Every structure is written in structure tokens, then in C-alpha cells.
Amino acid sequence: MSLPRTAIAGIGATEFSKKSGRSELRLAAEAVLAALDDAGLSPGDVDGMVTYSQDSNQEIAVAREAGIGDLTFFSRVEYGGGAACGTVAHAAMAVATGMADTVVCYRAFNERSGRRFGQPNSRLTGEPTSQGLEMSWHVPYGLMTPAAWVAMFARRYMHVYDATSEDFGRVAVAMRRHAATNPAAWFYRRPITLEEHQASRWIVEPLHLLDCCQESDGAVALVVTSAERARDLRRSPAVITAAAQGSASGQMMMTSYYRDDMSGLPEMSVVGRRLYERSRLTPADIQTAILYDHFTPFVLAQLEELGFCGRGEAPGFLKDGGIELDGRLPVNPHGGQLGEAYIHGMNGIAEAVRQIRGTAANQLTGVTNVLVTAGTGVPTSGLILSAD
């Protein structure tokens, strides 16, 4: 059976801030309404909703707050930031199979001024669950935060490939440079230098403060419908050419330390292979990549896992300016989570749609295919969005 093509027809976001003054429920509803307005739709047109398992708001609560009525499909995707592109995959499947006509994906954060995400939490261990058992091996020894978990990977990558802290810093510098010309970014007009990156305080060696993404308040929503219907709406559609989720052998939640090789992110390879197979595209066909950049070291690994350079070649790729706006593969033209905002990767999907439409703050020329990734170090997901 041939399934109909799907597309993202609307995007919406609240202002990204450090103190929103609004609840996560209200932020989610505002983003949903903005996305519907962007598409030229009303709340009554929505019959499906998808979000993260970690969003504090249930779909029915956001539906009530936004004035959405009956729902025929709803879903919650697991694994933190790894859910970002997975929400779109679930929505696209619902539309393609006829379970829903129009599905909204959303993520809301009152993270900086409310419930701070990623703080040390000794309660991660001791719970009678598989994750509680897993964390009991790490948390008692101080591995209690995402930064600490990623630092272990980063140190191994440095050892295997002779990478340096400066290599990680080049990611941070590029993201802040892109954010500096994006009026929606929290770090608008605030670029940094490599020297400033190196002088920033240690969080967990080898990660400096500027290797870690910011904490943000805000929300992002996306409207997914059929490509045919999207063509009749207010905005030009971003066609969902391919979507995938991926978990690799030996996968654990941010602590896959028992693999034979912990210098890569094999789950991202799983996603990349599926995206290229389903789209019949190659890395050479991608004009820009929106890579999940909660911590700088994982950007290097993603470049390699997705075939944009060979194993251990990412440091050289960065040093040559490969991820800059005029580079071989511009990465995160909006500034990413390091520069624009940390909305668990959903703002990156919105940027991919803008690049396809030709409406981005840092618009690139000739964009027809954008590859987007979700959270790394966890079971993850990815998309290829294309011009219609």
C-alpha cells in the first residue's frame, strides 16, 4: 500500500527567555495557537496531538487550554531530547494511515525559572525500574547529570582521535556567531571567541561552561498534515521526506559505557542509514543540518555518524570552517540550543522548516533538503525535510 506524503504546514513559538512568567501549560498553548495561525488553521481543525513523555502537560490539558475539541490520535514519545523528531514521525504516521487529519506536536519548558532540567538527582537510582537499576551503577559515584555523562564520552573521543577542548569550542563559537544575527535567539548580538570559550569555567572536565547549552523558558509547536492539504494552506509546506527513530546495541540512557567502542554514537548511525534509505538521498544532497547541540562534543560525533566526514575527521572539518554559514555543511543557522534556545530540539525543527520556506533569519541559498537530529546519547530520532 502506498501511503500519502506528509508535511509540516505550520510552526509556532513563544519568545525564548530566562523568566517567562507563564506556566508550561500556557506556554504550550500559546505555541500551538501560533503554529495553527501560521498554517491558517483553527483549533477546530486539529484532531491529533503528540508530545514528549517528559513534557509536564498532557495532551488533553493543552487541547483544553488551546480550545481544541475532539482528538482521534494522541501519543507521547520517550527519551528526552531524543523524542524531538520522533514526535513528527508519530504525527506523520497518524496522518499517513488515516488515524488523524491534522496533528500538532509541541514541547514546553519553564526550565530556567521553574523546574530546572538536568539537575543532580539522587532519586534516579533505587527505583524498581530498569532505569533505576541502570542508574544505580553510576549515580552513587557522582555521575548524576547530563554534563557528567557526556564528559565521559568526550574524554574517550579526545583520547581516540587526539581531539582537543579547542575542537569542541569551535562548535560553541560557530553556534553563538549564528545566534548573534538571529533576532529570536537569546544570545542575539552576543558572539563569543574561542579564547572566551577556553576561559569559561569548568563544569565537568573536559566540558567548559560554554560547551553546555543554555537553560530556557519557552515552547515550540508544529502542525503536521498531508502534503496535499498543506499545499492549500497559508504557508509553503516542508515535506517530511524521511523520518526515523534509532537505538543501537548496548544502548543505555546517556551512559552506554559498556560498548566495545564508546567514541561514537551508533544510534545516530542507525537513524542516518534509515533516513538515507527512505529518502534515497545521500549526505551530498543535504544543504544544511540541524544537529542536536546540547553539548558540543556530540556535534562532532554526529558529523561522523551521519557521513558528513569520516571517523575522527570532525575536528579538521570544524577547523576548516565546515559548519559555518558559508561552509561545506552549515550547521544550525539559527544558533542551535547553544545559541538560540534549549527547547529540547523542537526549535531546530522549526528552523529547518524556515530554511525550506526561505524565511530564516540566516537564510541559506538553494536549500531543498535539511537533515534534523534529536537528542544524542539516548535512543534518538531524525528527519529529512524537503521543498515540495
Closest CA to 81 of 264, 267, 324, 312: 267
Helix H or strand E encompassing 207 = strand 207-208
Q: What are phi and psi of 369, to 5 degrees?
A: -140, 130
What DSSP state is assigned to residue 13?
E
Q: Which three cell numbers stand for residue 341?
A: 534556545
Q: Which residues on adjacent β-strands are paired with residue 102? A: 225
Pairing of strands 102-110, 207-208: unpaired
> In whole angstroms, how far apart are CA 275 and each of 32, 34, 228, 251?
27, 29, 22, 20
Q: Are 271 and 382 in contact (CB under 8 A)?
A: yes
Query: Which residue among 79, 157, 276, 342 is the active-site one?
Result: 342
Sign, CA dihedral 24-26-29-31, equals negative
- Confirm whether 342 is a catalytic residue: yes
HSE at residue 33, side-chain half, CA atoms within 13 A, is 14
Rounded to whole angstroms, how far apart are CA atoms 167 and 178? Answer: 17
Whether the Cβ atoms of residue 173 and residue 194 lie closer than 8 Å to each other: yes
CB atoms within 10 A of CB 191: 18
| Catalytic status, residue 161 | no
The residues carrying an active-site annotation are 292, 342
